[in-house]
Structures are given as C-alpha cells and as structure tokens.
Structure 1
Amino acid sequence: MFRFFRKKDRPQSSDAQTESVSDIIVDSPSLPAIEPQQAPPAPQALAQPVPESASQSWMSRLRQGLARTSIGGIFTGSKVDESLYDELESALIMSDAGVQASTTLIEALRQTVRKERLQSAQEVREALTDVLTEHLRALEKPFEVGAIKPLVVMIAGVNGAGKTTSIGKLAHALQAGGARVLLAAGDTFRAAAREQLIEWGNRNHVAVIAQEGGDPAAVAFDAVTAGHARHMDVVMVDTAGRLPTQLHLMEELKKIRRVIHKADQTAPHEVLLVVDGNTGQNALAQVKAFDTALNLTGLIVTKLDGTAKGGVLAALASGAQGCRPIPVYWIGVGEQLEDLQPFVAREFAQAMLGTH
C-alpha cells in the first residue's frame, strides 16, 4: 500500500518552535514531544512494499466499486468494426468521461488497432486499457511525506463529499507508514464535526487540535504552530464544507490559507479537494472553482463504490471544462479504513474495463 509514499531526509531546522501553544484544546490522546536529539523514523518506514494479498484485495474492491462504470461487457462477442468503436464511445460518454476525453480515447484506440493490426475484441480491450492508462497518467502522482516537516495539508470540499471521513482514513494510512500526524478541527460550522474528527483521532491514536466555537483560521494557526513544536511529520487541517457559489464562505477558505501561511511561510504545502465521485461531470465545476480560490495541489475522489460515473477522471485528465489535470492522490471505494488508497492509473483503467 505504501509504495506511493516517498520519504526524504531533511535536516531538522535549528530554529524550530518549541514554546508551548496557548489557547488550544487537545481532545484526543496527546503525543509526547520528540526531543531534538532523537532520530526521526527511518525513511523506509513510509515505503513498505504492498503485500500481494493486500494488493489483490484492493483490486477486488476497486473492480467491485466500479462495476457499474465498467464497459468491459461491450467486448463480449463483438467484432472489431465501426459499431464497436461507436458503442465504446457512447459507453465512455455515459460513464461521464465527457465528449472530449471519449473522442480522444477512441481515436487513439483506432490508431493502435491499425498500427498493431489487432483483430479480436479481447485484443482491442487490452489496447484500450493501455490507451486509458496513458490518458490517466496525468493524474497519477505520489503523495510525498518527509521532505518538509511538518507537511501542512489543508483539506476542503463541498458538503457531504466525505471530507472528515477521508481525513480519518488518511491519518490511519499515514500513521501505518510511520508518520507522526496531527489533526486540526477547522470545521467549526457543522454540528458535531469537531466531535467526529476527535473520534477519528481516538481511533487512530492521533492528537486533535480544536477550540470550542473557535475561528477556523485560529484553529489552523494553532495546529501548525503545535506541529512545529512537536516535530510532527504531517498536520492536516479540516475545513467546513461549502459550495463554490457561497462566495463569503470561499473567502473564509482564502483567509484560512493566508493564516496558515502566517504560521509557516512555506505552508500550506498541500491543498486538497475532496470530491464525491457520484457527482460526475459536476465535479469539474467544483474543481475549477476551488482551484481558482486556493490553487489546489491534489484531489481525493470518494464514493466510487457502485457509481456509474467513474469516467469523470478521464474528463479531468483531458482538461475538460477548463479544469487543469490536478493530481488525484487518493480514491475511495468503501467505508473501511483500507478502502482509501493511492490512485494508480493502470489499476483504475483495468477496473473500468474489466481487464487484468
């Protein structure tokens, strides 16, 4: 699972903040501060090989999750002719890949079939898997931990996208890879959001910085300061869900970003948007709006289990609706902790097309 983390050594700054942080509440088990002379975790802690059984289990869940998106059944008993191309293009459009990406993919497939003189439907399916994989490569990027300490991650999203749950799953994954994680309960708007994140912190034995009815920007500032003082590897800042049309709330997000930058002039290092995979093409408008406001560095695409709209990632890779192809760090296909995994272009293409 953790083959996509890259941990790099970096000398610890001599002027790291060590003073206590005031006016903060740590609502889950506190982590003792690391003494300056203590050696950091070995780099390989975040680069463990994926056990074959775990990889197969994930692929099984991914295939099951994208079963409604899968267009592999089109190839069964089909001849390699114009009607097959038409059917494939229609299926891609129906999966929310969009006209632009679907046309590009089918044209690339035609060229491959002609060049390699493919004759069977199975060969064409394998060729389309390769074409789709290359198309999705623009979204594939490893989530790097360790080059910067702490890595400050700001996480945003619309209401109901699964943002807080994704943060909990990410905390679990990062800790399993050897990282020391601190969470910030910056969603001070939604009822019980603070308590939900604290519960995730308890489950993962991760400390949570929170304030009773506090300003989300102040919570973020305290968390980044605490992250430096405790020599954490990752600080993740939750924010309240909001629609991109709610301009005053988007301005609040910009404020949080500015305040994080005041706490650490190099931060935030990652600005992630959590996107509900069921929204299909509507996700592109969300990505564009949040990217304009925050300059996103990556995406987490959730709820791909059982959706018929998994093709939206192909649309994103093509730059449809004016969106730039922002990396998809993680995808989710279930409710379990292990159901949020790094995005791998070939695995996703194989799941969509039912190939191996």
Structure 2
Amino acid sequence: MPGYAAVEPSPPRVESEPQPEPKPEPEQVPQLEPESEPGPEPGSAQEPEQEPEQDPGPDHKPRADAESEAEPTSAPARTSWLTRLRQGLSRTGQSIGGIFVGVKVDENLFDELETALIMADAGVEATQKLLASLRTRVRKERLEDAGQVRAALRDILADHLAPLEKKFPLGQTKPMVVMIAGVNGAGKTTSIGKLANHFQAQGTSVLLAAGDTFRAAAREQLIEWGKRNHVNVIAQEGGDPAAVAFDAVNAGRAREAGVVMVDTAGRLPTQLHLMEELKKIRRVISKADSAAPHEVLLVVDGNTGQNAIAQIRAFDAAINLTGLVVTKLDGTAKGGTLAAVAAGSQGVRPVPVYWIGVGEGLNDLQPFVAKEFAAALVGE
C-alpha cells in the first residue's frame, strides 16, 4: 500500500531476540510529562537497538519465578491483591459500609444509601436500579438486620457488575492486534508495559508499536518498557502513527508474535482532529490485517468519576471499544463509576472491563472480578 509499506530495518539494526537469562523485574517507570503536539518530524520506522545484556549478579531472581507472581492463581498473591483492592476503594467502602453500623432497617437507611451511592459516582440510574432491587429483596426475604441488608446489597451489586466481567481472549488468534487509547495521564503507556509482562508470564510473545509519535517522551517510555520486559518495539521519530501501526502488524505476522499492542497518542474526546487520527489508525491496521484490530482498549483513570462516562462514550463512537482498563483505584477513587457503566448511564454502552489497577507495582493490574469489586465497594 503506498505510503504505508512495512519498513524492516537492516540486520545490524534489528534488536536481538530476548535472552534466556533476562534482567530482574523492573521498577515502575515514572509517568512522563504531558503530551505536546509538535508537527511531525521526518523519520523512518525502525527498531531501536537493545542494550547489551548485563550480568544480573548472584542475587538475581529467575524471571520465570518473578513472572509467576503476575499470575492470579497463587492463593497468597490473590489475598494480597484483594487487600490492596479493599484499601484502594476504602473511601467508598467506609462511606457505604458505615451506614449499616447500629441502625434499623427503615426508610432512613435507604435514604442514606442513595446519597452514598451517588457520592460514589454510581450515577442516578444505577443507584435507582440497585435500591429498587434491594427494597424488593428486603421485603421478600423479610430482612430485619442491617448486616443482612449489607450482604444483600453486595450480592445485588455483584450481579449488576457481572456483565462487565469478561476474560481477555488471549491466544484466540495470532498475532492478536490490540489497539490502546486513552487521555493523557490515565496510565496508558504504563498499563501497556504491565500487560506485556502479564502476557509473557502466560507464555505469549509480545511486540509493541510506539504509535504516539507526537510526544517523544511517550516513545522513549514505551521503548524503556520494551527493554525491561525484553520485548521488541517498532518506533519512529515523528511521522505518521498509522504507518508505525501498519509496520508493527506486518512485523508481528512475520515474527509469529502472539500479541501486537499499538500505543496511540493521548487525547481528549473534544480534540476532534486527534479523534479522527484514531479512526485512521484503526482503518490502516485493518488494511494490514482485515480482521484487526482484534481488541480496542480504552485506559480510564479511576479518579475521573462521571467524566469517565463521557470518555467511554466518545472513544466508543470513534473506534468501537471492545474493553476497558481502569487504573489508579488506589485510595482516592470512588469506584462507583463502573456501576454507572453497567447501567448504561448517559447513553454509554456497557463495555467490558478486562483489568483494574490499584497501584504502581508491576502486578497491581489484575483481571476484573465483579464479586470482588462489589465486596470492596460495600466495605467487606
């Protein structure tokens, strides 16, 4: 296709394949400065050279053991994750859970619950739906103890959130092309680095595409994640991000990669020219692979509250989202926004939530489980 031909670097510039004895697990890459929007600079798609492998030393922990910590199958690891989730949503958990302490089951209880749910960013539609179901259960089961009502609310909330719970279909196609979008500051590039580690821990090879060509810092950040995860990165200094995505899809097919993740420039839904560019990237990816992108993810900051609804609606209209990654649920987030998404508030479609993040650690991004999230929201 003219203008989008894949550019494969000459042999001296190709990154070496991941070594069998990789480096220890990295520390969190700090969030870099916000995006600016300079004009495109000339350049050709190329893979940055990887630094020589360093001797990790006698205290090095084998990567296989380190990566196994990312798996949610270990009981102690899962317990630790649930503790962090409860701590992350403690603001809402204390607000809602405290209502049920030493009170009678009467109309005052429901009034306080209504206020607490709205303050938790659940929205009016979700709040009314949850309370209607709770009132019905209280009458039907004749619940007279506040603790029983709290447990009933937890179960109702879990059922309400259940449509958002969906397992990421890793391995259904090869390569699986994943396009990732989000506003600046949501943790998009950092989430890509964490997901690369998570996929590798499941035995899937990964290729990254630095499609944020407007901001050099974003490209450098993704390249650093690639080095630390021992993952190849298709990058370009300035130029057309759609061309980078096109080259990455072709490179992923040639190298038989399991997953190709395409980073895109952060933008606000009101930046119409940048939203149009997202549509272009999606179209060009489909030219490289008619079935791609197989997944289109939006990274959402869990602290944005009801503003997240507007983001989901706008990005879904532009690029047809298949899933969400909700980040920064680490103490200040209210968490009720997902209830609003599940209720279809303000015309938003209930887009599945694949992962939620509760901290800056490499393993703090975990699959979304409705029952666990509901229990944390009600303070259990």
How far off is 1:173 after superposition? 0.9
Which of 237, 262, 283 matches 1:212? 237
Q: Which amino acid aligns with 1:26?
A: E
Distance 2:371 2:226 in 1: 33
1:112-261 alignment, distance < 5 Å: 112-261=137-286
1:82-97 alignment, distance < 5 Å: 82-97=107-122
Note if 1:25 corresponds to 2:46: yes
How far off is 1:191 after superposition? 3.4
Alignment-derived partner of residue 64 in structure 1: 87
| Shift in CA distance, 49/162, structure 1 to aligned 2, threshold 3 Å | closer
Alignment-derived partner of residue 99 in structure 2: 74
* Mean CA deviation greater in 49-58 or 217-226: 49-58
Name segments (4+ residues, structure 1) moved above 6 Å.
Answer: none
- Matched residue SS, 1:256: helix
Distance 2:263 2:165 in 1: 24
Does the 8 A contact of 2:181 with 2:297 survive in 1?
yes
- Matched residue SS, 1:338: coil
- Matched residue SS, 1:166: helix
Structure 1 unmatched runs, 5+: 1-18, 31-44
Provide, for residues 278-334 of structure 1, a one-character-per-residue CA deviation record: whole Å limited to 9, x for no partner: 110011111111100001001111111112421000000000010010001111110
- Matched residue SS, 1:68: helix
Q: Which amino acid aligns with 2:154?
A: T
Distance 1:75 1:92 in 2: 14
Which of 286, 307, 332 matches 2:332? 307
Does the 8 A contact of 1:28 with 1:206 survive in 2?
no
Alignment-derived partner of residue 342 in structure 2: 317
Number of corresponding residues:
322
Q: Which amino acid aligns with 1:51?
A: S
Does the 8 A contact of 1:155 with 1:272 survive in 2?
yes
* Mean CA deviation greater in 248-257 or 73-82: 73-82
| Shift in CA distance, 214/123, structure 1 to aligned 2, threshold 3 Å | same
Q: Which amino acid aligns with 1:21?
A: E
Q: Which amino acid aligns with 2:110?
A: Y
Distance 2:328 2:48 in 1: 28
Distance 2:161 2:313 in 1: 18
Does the 8 A contact of 1:29 with 1:206 survive in 2?
no
Structure 2 unmatched runs, 5+: 1-5, 10-43, 52-67
TM-score, normalising length from structure 1?
Answer: 0.87
Note if 1:297 corresponds to 2:322: yes
| Shift in CA distance, 94/20, structure 1 to aligned 2, threshold 3 Å | closer
How far off is 1:206 after superposition? 1.0
Alignment RMSD (CA, Å): 1.7
How far off is 1:29 after superposition? 4.5
Percent identity between the two aligned chains: 72
Note if 1:54 corresponds to 2:41: no
Alignment-derived partner of residue 328 in structure 1: 353
Q: Which amino acid aligns with 1:230?
A: R
* Mean CA deviation greater in 87-96 or 71-80: 71-80
- Matched residue SS, 1:79: coil
Q: Which amino acid aligns with 2:8?
A: V
| Shift in CA distance, 247/20, structure 1 to aligned 2, threshold 3 Å | closer
Alignment-derived partner of residue 11 in structure 1: none
Distance 2:127 2:115 in 1: 8
Alignment-derived partner of residue 16 in structure 2: none
Alignment-derived partner of residue 19 in structure 2: none
How far off is 1:28 after superposition? 6.0
| Shift in CA distance, 238/308, structure 1 to aligned 2, threshold 3 Å | closer
How far off is 1:112 after superposition? 1.1
Does the 8 A contact of 1:28 with 1:202 survive in 2?
no
Distance 1:63 1:187 in 2: 34
Does the 8 A contact of 2:150 with 2:378 survive in 1?
yes
Does the 8 A contact of 2:88 with 2:333 survive in 1?
no
Does the 8 A contact of 1:28 with 1:201 survive in 2?
no
| Shift in CA distance, 213/269, structure 1 to aligned 2, threshold 3 Å | same
Distance 1:75 1:335 in 2: 32
How far off is 1:48 after superposition? 6.5
Which of 287, 305, 316 matches 1:262? 287
